[in-house]
Amino acid sequence: MKRRIRIAIPSKGRLSQPSIQALQDAGINVRRKERTYVSETSDSRFEAVFARAFDVPIYIQYGAADLGLTGHDVMLEREADVHELLDLGFGKSRLVVAVPENSAINSIYDIPAVARVATEYPNLCRKYFDGFGKQVEILVVRGTAELAPRLGLAQIIVDITETGETLRRNKLKVIAAILDSSCRLACNRIAYRVFESEINELLDKLRSGGTLTK
Amino acid sequence: MTFIKLQTPRGTKDYLPPEVEQRRYVEQKLTEAFESWGYQEIRSPAIELVEVLSTGVGSELIDSMFKFQDFDGKIVALRAEMTAPVARIVTAKMLEAPMPIRLFYISNVFRYSQSYLEREREFWQAGVELIGCNTPEADGEVLSLLVSSLMKLGLEGVRIDIGHAGLLKDLLRATGLEKEKKDVLQNLLGYRDEDRLEEFMDQNNFSPDLKEVFLRLSRCRRLEELSSALLKMSEYGRTDDYLRALVEVNDALADYGAENFVFFDFSLVRKIEYYTGIVFEASVPNLGLPLGGGGRYDNLIEKFGKLKIPATGFALEIEKCLQALTAQGCQLSEKPKVKVLVASRFRDLAIKAANSIRGAGIAALLDITRRSKKEIVRYAKCSGIDYVVFVDSSLKKPAAIYDIRLDTVKNMTIKGFLQSVEADQK
């Protein structure tokens, strides 16, 4: 009945390399090979799959992966019913509402009755604006939300920012923060039951692996 | 849009014969399991008044119901689960029945998924309700029946995780936190992130005792360990009673021989609101989603009338059971049944032969196409038929019998043929 424990890792983007590093610090070296779906690791109990950071929560919730590393923001956006076992400390970022620097909008309350928001996070975005009674039109974009105001696609964006550099470069200012995020180790609820001892061992190693800044 | 005539609505699907066969297998096994414990089947309408279906289930489920207006102006909905309808039936039609009442159902239920994950909107549930009893024996029976039903399906590694709706509620209340923070705390318990849980409790000035209780319960996996948590916690609402109840359920499970299948999960919550006591979820290691679950609901039935009747039950999703069985590589049908195609130039004789084959308990199809022998055999090969019997001018005479699998022909009387098939099956 015992099989390998499958860990989903972001295949690219800002969380990919630190995730591989965190696992390595915890004694799991991922041997990533091109054109293979499942990668072996130095610990024969674990195997790795690479997936888009946005898809990792789905992989975990449905048990296609037992464990996975991805942002808390993505986990909430995908409404994943999973355990978030550990805050890995890296990938600290903030989901913010931003508008062009020269915009008259300086807070959520200044948002006009008719406004378009470009975002990769339609779910969190909808909930946030609903909370303020703001009826905004939400446009789902993939990747480059920060271009939307310049191209006239939307007056407002909701996007993730680490240092604020990209926003500044695109002449955008932050008017509100929706949530703080960082990379988490998430776990399928049933896999946690099956592999509790192995997973706890991994948690201990991740805690002492030096990756955690806390 | 040309193809719209060929589609089914989003989240619904057709079940073709091979899939129906697999589903029927699961349904039959579960029916046998439920009936062998004395549960009786009930059926109820797929459409009910929205007031009935909304009673006690909570806003999340109400939001997910397909609702529409009846001709008389009343709002009706498709059932989204079966416990509320059963509660209505018991109150309206079975109050005279001696308690406890044991009922089961296999029904389709409908939920409108608002999430952008496209889930099935019509799915099938098989469940039981044990009504009129709140003893540990009643909880023990329902849990043991759940284990036994899943094992009867042929599943391995069956596991039930149980929590307690009242225990979690009372302890959250004992924290004295405001609603938002309670939600955060409940999330952290669900996340199983101990670091952040401790951090949160420190930030919110939990007493060392309360902190200890939360940590201990969230680490506890075995019901019998709960008795050791007992003494320390008398000051937090009815928590002690609930813990004692869980330990008693465990004692009952031990007598059923089911205690090794059942684990404690403090953070376990169900999306439906009517649960008051134990709540649980069933799973197997090969499937990442629970097969189903249930719990005790002692306040639901009184919401339909005046009588407070305690009850408990569970529901399994047929689809999930099938997925689990497939993942474990289980056989999903009984021994395949033999099918015979009967053809003859003499229609009356063909019908007589087919009837006598059916009489022997073997499925017989009649050739109704007036095709040539060659075409009939070709049809049989493609249609999962085992034998073709060509009846001659008398039933006494040997018929030409094609064995489709072996691709051979033998001359045998119908009687002799039936005897040989019977011998094969043994």
* CATH number of the domain encompassing residue A137: 3.40.190.10
Chain B contact for A176, CB < 8 A? no
- Residue B292: other Cβ atoms inside 10 A: 22
Residues in a beta bridge with A98: A157, A174
Distance separating alpha carbons of residues B398 and B421, to the nearest angstrom: 16
Distance separating alpha carbons of residues B303 and B274, to the nearest angstrom: 10
The reply to whether A11 and A49 lie within a common domain is: yes
Q: Is residue A15 one of the residues assigned to a domain?
A: yes
Q: Is residue A79 one of the residues assigned to a domain?
A: yes
* pLDDT tens digits, B279-304: 999 999 989 999 999 999 999 999 99
* pLDDT tens digits, A34-56: 777 788 899 999 999 999 999 99
Residues of B within 8 A of A197 (CB-CB) are none
Q: Do B161 and A83 touch (CB under 8 A)?
A: no
Predicted pLDDT of residue A62: 92
- Whether the CB-CB separation of A40 and A31 falls below 8 Å is answered with yes
Q: Is residue A158 one of the residues assigned to a domain?
A: yes
Span A179-205, mean pLDDT?
94
Distance separating alpha carbons of residues B81 and B46, to the nearest angstrom: 10
Dihedral in degrees, nearest 10, Cα atoms A214, A65, A51, B270: -80
Q: Is residue A213 one of the residues assigned to a domain?
A: no
Q: Please, what are the domains in chain B? A: 8-327 (3.30.930.10), 339-420 (3.40.50.800)
Residues of A within 8 A of B292 (CB-CB) are none
Residues of B within 8 A of A85 (CB-CB) are 191-193
In this prediction, residue B114 has a pLDDT band, given cuts at 50, 70 and 90, of low
Predicted pLDDT of residue A211: 53
Of B116, B161, B193, the CB nearest to A193: B161
Residues making up chain A, counted from first to last: 214
* pLDDT tens digits, B141-199: 999 999 999 999 999 999 999 999 999 988 998 888 999 999 999 999 999 999 999 99
Span B391-420, mean pLDDT?
91
The first and second tokens of residue B316, run together, are 């399994």
Of B193, B265, B287, the CB nearest to A86: B193
CA dist B366 → B342, B350, B354, B369, B387 (Å): 5, 7, 7, 9, 12
Judge whether residue B205 has pLDDT over 60: yes
Higher pLDDT, residue B106 or A112: B106
Residues 6+ apart with CB under 8 A from B167: B217, B239, B242, B243, B246, B266
How many domains, chain A? Answer: 2
Structural element, H or E, at residue B243 = helix B239-256
The mean of the pLDDT values for chain A is 91
The reply to whether A165 and A191 lie within a common domain is: no
Predicted pLDDT of residue B5: 81
Span B331-339, mean pLDDT?
79
Predicted pLDDT of residue B426: 73
Predicted pLDDT of residue B234: 61
Helix (H, G, I), strand (E, B) or coil at B346: coil
Residues in a beta bridge with B110: B122
Q: Is residue A34 one of the residues assigned to a domain?
A: yes
Distance separating alpha carbons of residues B267 and B265, to the nearest angstrom: 6
Q: Is residue A22 one of the residues assigned to a domain?
A: yes
Identify the residue among B64, B159, B180, B195 best suited for mutation to test binding to A, counting A beta carbons within 10 A and taking the highest: B195
Q: Do A83 and B191 touch (CB under 8 A)?
A: yes
Query: Which residues of chain B are at the A interface, by a Cβ-Cβ cutoff of 8 Å?
Result: 115-117, 156-157, 159, 161, 190-193, 195-196, 221, 263, 265, 283-285, 287-290
Predicted pLDDT of residue B198: 93
CA dist A45 → A48, B142, B212, B370 (Å): 10, 36, 33, 63
* pLDDT tens digits, A112-169: 888 999 999 999 999 999 998 888 999 999 878 888 898 889 999 999 999 989 899 9
Q: Is residue A163 one of the residues assigned to a domain?
A: yes
Dihedral pair phi/psi, residue B319, rounded to 5°:
-60, -45
The reply to whether A189 and A168 lie within a common domain is: no
Q: Which residues span the domain enclosing A29?
A: 5-91+182-208
The reply to whether A115 and A79 lie within a common domain is: no
The reply to whether A79 and A13 lie within a common domain is: yes
Report yes or no on whether pTM surpasses 0.95: no
The mean of the pLDDT values for chain B is 91
Percent helix, percent strand, percent coil in chain B, to nearest 5: 45, 20, 35
Chain B contact for A204, CB < 8 A? no
Residues of B within 8 A of A138 (CB-CB) are none
CA dist A108 → A111, A113, A122, A130 (Å): 6, 11, 17, 11
Predicted pLDDT of residue B118: 62
Predicted pLDDT of residue B269: 84
Distance separating alpha carbons of residues A91 and A104, to the nearest angstrom: 31
Distance separating alpha carbons of residues B137 and B116, to the nearest angstrom: 42
Q: Do A62 and B289 touch (CB under 8 A)?
A: yes
The reply to whether A26 and A125 lie within a common domain is: no
- Residue A71: other Cβ atoms inside 10 A: 25
* pLDDT tens digits, A65-99: 999 999 999 999 998 999 999 999 999 999 999 99
Predicted pLDDT of residue A213: 47
Predicted pLDDT of residue A83: 94
> In this structure, which amino acid lies at residue B318?
I
The reply to whether A78 and A107 lie within a common domain is: no
What is the rounded end-to-end Cα distance, in angstroms, of chain A?
37
The reply to whether A103 and A138 lie within a common domain is: yes
Q: Is residue A162 one of the residues assigned to a domain?
A: yes
Higher pLDDT, residue B231 or A174: A174
Q: Do A62 and B195 touch (CB under 8 A)?
A: no
Residue with tokens 């007589």: B352
The reply to whether A64 and A106 lie within a common domain is: no
The first and second tokens of residue A138, run together, are 């939400």
The reply to whether A11 and A85 lie within a common domain is: yes
| Among chain B residues, CA nearest to A57 | B117
Residues in a beta bridge with A183: A71
Residues of A within 8 A of B157 (CB-CB) are 1, 194
Judge whether residue A212 has pLDDT over 60: no
| Among chain B residues, CA nearest to A189 | B288
The reply to whether A121 and A148 lie within a common domain is: yes
The reply to whether A84 and A163 lie within a common domain is: no
Distance separating alpha carbons of residues B170 and B217, to the nearest angstrom: 13
Span B117-126, mean pLDDT?
85
